[in-house]
Amino acid sequence: MPYPLDPELAAALAMMPEVDISDLAAARAAQKAELSARAAAADTSGTVVKDVREPGVALRLYRPERADGPLPLVFRVHGGGFVLGGPDVDHETNLRLCRALPAVIVSPDYRLAPEHPFPAGLDDCYAALRWAAEHASGLGCDPARVAVAGDSAGACLATAVALLARDRGGPRIAFQYLDSPALDDRLATPSARAFTDTPVWNRRNARLSWAAYLGDGVPGSPGVPATAAPARADAAALAGLPPAHITVMAFDPLRDEGIDYARALLTAGVAAELHLFPGTFHGASLVRHAAVARRMAAEELAVLRRALTC
Catalytic residue numbers read: 152, 252, 282
Residue of 77, 72, 75, 76 whose CA lies nearest to 101: 72
Q: Which helix (H) or strand (E) holds 94?
A: helix 91-100
Is the distance from CB of 103 to CB of 304 less than 8 angstroms? yes
What's the CA dihedral at 46, 176, 179, 39 to 10 degrees?
30
Please say whether the dihedral angle defined by the alpha carbons of residues 208, 211, 216 and 218, taken in this order, is positive or negative. negative
Residue 57 to residue 124: CA distance in whole angstroms: 7
Is the distance from CB of 275 to CB of 299 less than 8 angstroms? yes
Please give the single-letter amino acid code of residue 275: H
305 phi/psi in degrees, rounded to 5: -60, -45
Residue 236 to residue 161: CA distance in whole angstroms: 17
Residue of 62, 129, 95 whose CA lies nearest to 121: 129
